Structure 1
Amino acid sequence: MVHGKSVKLFLVDGTPNGILTAEIINWTGHVLSAPRTKLPELIQRDECARTGIYFLVGYEPESALPCVYIGESDDVANRLKQHNRAEKSGGKDFWDKVCLVTGKDQNITKTHIKYLESRLIDIAQSNGQCQLINGTAHQYDRLPESDRADMEYFLEQIQVVLPVLGYEFLKEMKIISPKLNTMPVEKTVENQEEAEFYFSVKGINAKAKVVDGEFYVLADSEVRQEMTDLNHTYTKNLRPQLFEKNIIDSTTYKFKQNYLFSSPSAAGAVVAGRCSNGRKDWRQVGTNITYGEWLENQVDQVKISEA
């Protein structure tokens, strides 16, 4: 059974664009988020003197994905001061926001943090949701079995909190079994926990599923080799990045893994090589209704009790 979680947010400056803190009840972690312009205030906070993991995040106009650097330090304040220098002075120019994760107590050690850094870099590399600035991840597993279990739980909470703050790049891909050889069959399908959709264009076939409210294109889905709209955001930026990251095989033109898209239109544009209205182009397997019609049906099926 899946239980809800309470995430406690605090606007330190009283504004949503300033320094934010986030916590989960009964979790020993603490999260800080701030724009780069707030760095002078941020590094004066007690959390920045602790051992922690930090994320530098930047959004470039020509990239469909955020640029991310993942680091760790015993003294995050000084490390962030170093990163704030100009590139030619050993700093990093690309980032606009920073997010810091520390422990509320003294039980999170340097060894724990190195393990978390290694795992987080692995996740960011494998899910393809960002342009990772780090080089090759260092494998760090010098932890007893019990400590690894504790850190995996700590990691799960990081993956819950960061999307709440707008950092989407640590989402792990759901394990979904594709059924690409299944042809659409006309039948009525009631509300499903995992609705499945297909996209066919010019002999190219792709499959997708909605899992936990998010839109995944499934592994082995095909994409068109030709592109007829080179200036669209998703065809110009996102599609080439997915080839570069080997999410889509450049030889077979197939997805090598399940991939989470921000919307069905983004998924449709990558598959078709042109602008796509995902609400119309994706159709539900079994009913052949459009994704937009399926969304409407989900609401229409809900019975609202009268007062």
Structure 2
Amino acid sequence: MTRAIGRSLELYYIDGRPDGMLTAELFNWTGHVLMTPRTQIAEALARPEASYAGVYLLIGEQEGEPRAYVGEGEDISARIRSHDVRKEWWTSAVLITAAANKLNKAHVRYLEARLIAEARAIGRVPLDNGTNPTLAALSEADVAKMEAFLENLFIVLPAVRVDMFIRRARPTAAKTQPDAAPAVETSTDAPEAKRFVLENRRHDIHATAVLRDGEFIVEAGSTARGSWAGLAHHNYVGLYSELIRSGVLAPQGNHCVFTESYAFSSPSAAATVVFGRAASGPQSWRLEGSEMTYKEWEAARIEDTFEDLLGASE
């Protein structure tokens, strides 16, 4: 098993305000990301990198739902000026360029097409783009460069509050059959995934989840409440609606079914979506095959970890 390698990201708040313009760069990456609220778009477009070739995102809301637009241009500032006049819904913009203006027209057309395809495949935020552009014809070497550029970009974007390209759907783990051959051992220190269960018989809800690699993943086939029943302004109303809209939650009779496994940010986020109302994940989820709550299991796990550390230091 290959060990994950950390990355170093530098954020620079241009005017010293956390809600103002900021830039983001990764060490040893030529890409440059500028995030700006619409209220500062004039200042952003006056910056040198705004006249470079690149791609850009316009982000906002329309009729209460998130919305985004992906565009490209050999001079980003000229393209955004036209959209600033014609599109009223967006509230922030992200300008994506490369140092020394190294991207060309074919590069940015390729990046635009890939970003649109990725956003639509994930389905978290509807796009204002009317078409699906075809990939620009690039050499094999240039395709590899642009795919590497995108890999780094997808690391940077969440740091500037853009999460529309985060894939939370996870492949469904294959069930081990009784007569199946034992799995090949790939790592001696990889922790075993723990499975948890959440039930509400009144609403025909039965969900299972696994904690794997730090992600709390509700498994495909789990059932959830058929409609949101909690407070209209709850933090997770948007997430529940997003999962319905993207097809992760599919209506089936009086409830919904997870069509694919989905990684939540916390057990509480998962429990709230499954129940369709506010819920405490640590208290609601129980370790499969026992009455131990997630909270109790977590406390025991922390205690065991500290005991191991103390034992190793003696």
Question: What TM-score, normalized by structure 1, do the two folds share?
Answer: 0.81
State the 4+ residue runs in structure 1 displaced beyond 4 angstroms: 59-63, 179-182, 234-237
CA distance in 2, matches of 1:262, 1:296: 19
Kindly indicate whether residue 28 of structure 2 is the aligned counterpart of residue 29 of structure 1: no
| 1:181 Cα deviation after fit | 10
Task: Note if contact 1:234-1:266 (Cα within 8 Å) is conserved in structure 2.
Answer: no
Task: Note if contact 1:234-1:270 (Cα within 8 Å) is conserved in structure 2.
Answer: no
CA distance in 2, matches of 1:10, 1:140: 32
Task: Note if contact 1:52-1:113 (Cα within 8 Å) is conserved in structure 2.
Answer: yes
Aligned amino acid, residue 196 of structure 2: F
Aligned-residue CA RMSD (Å): 3.1
One of 276, 282, 285 as aligned partner of 1:282: 285
Task: Note if contact 1:265-1:276 (Cα within 8 Å) is conserved in structure 2.
Answer: yes
Kindly indicate whether residue 99 of structure 2 is the aligned counterpart of residue 104 of structure 1: yes
Task: Note if contact 1:229-1:275 (Cα within 8 Å) is conserved in structure 2.
Answer: yes
| 1:150 Cα deviation after fit | 1.5
Aligned amino acid, residue 4 of structure 2: V
Structure 1 240/10 Cα, relative in aligned 2: closer, same or farther at 3 Å? closer
- Spell out the pairing of 1:171-210 with structure 2 (5 A cutoff): 171-173=166-168, 175-178=170-173, 192=191, 194-202=193-201, 203-210=204-211
Structure 1 28/294 Cα, relative in aligned 2: closer, same or farther at 3 Å? farther
CA distance in 2, matches of 1:299, 1:269: 25
Residue aligning to 2:155: 160
Residue aligning to 1:187: none
Greater gyration radius = 2
- Spell out the pairing of 1:18-97 with structure 2 (5 A cutoff): 18-58=20-60, 62-63=64-65, 66-85=66-85, 90=86, 92-97=87-92
CA distance in 2, matches of 1:93, 1:193: 50
Structure 1 60/106 Cα, relative in aligned 2: closer, same or farther at 3 Å? closer
Structure 1 77/221 Cα, relative in aligned 2: closer, same or farther at 3 Å? same
CA distance in 1, matches of 2:174, 2:279: 23
Q: Secondary structure at the match of 1:31?
A: strand
Looking at secondary structure, tell me which structure has more helix per residue. 2
One of 280, 292, 295 as aligned partner of 2:295: 292
Deviations 1:136-168 (A, max 9, x none): 432315222222222111111111111122222
Residue aligning to 1:151: 146
Aligned amino acid, residue 82 of structure 1: S
Which moves more between the two structures, 4-13 or 103-112?
Answer: 103-112
Structure 1 300/28 Cα, relative in aligned 2: closer, same or farther at 3 Å? same
- Where structure 1 has 5 or more consecutive residues not aligned to the other structure, the ranges are 183-189
Task: Note if contact 1:178-1:219 (Cα within 8 Å) is conserved in structure 2.
Answer: no
CA distance in 2, matches of 1:207, 1:279: 14
| 1:254 Cα deviation after fit | 1.9
CA distance in 2, matches of 1:73, 1:295: 50
Kindly indicate whether residue 272 of structure 2 is the aligned counterpart of residue 269 of structure 1: yes
Give the count of matched residue pairs.
293
- Where structure 2 has 5 or more consecutive residues not aligned to the other structure, the ranges are 178-188
Aligned amino acid, residue 43 of structure 2: E
Structure 1 255/143 Cα, relative in aligned 2: closer, same or farther at 3 Å? farther
Task: Note if contact 1:62-1:237 (Cα within 8 Å) is conserved in structure 2.
Answer: no
Deviations 1:56-81 (A, max 9, x none): 12257944xx4222221111112222
Looking at secondary structure, tell me which structure has more strand per residue. 2
% identical aligned pairs: 35
Structure 1 61/181 Cα, relative in aligned 2: closer, same or farther at 3 Å? farther
Task: Note if contact 1:34-1:97 (Cα within 8 Å) is conserved in structure 2.
Answer: yes
CA distance in 1, matches of 2:275, 2:63: 23
CA distance in 1, matches of 2:8, 2:138: 30
Structure 1 77/232 Cα, relative in aligned 2: closer, same or farther at 3 Å? closer
Aligned amino acid, residue 22 of structure 2: L
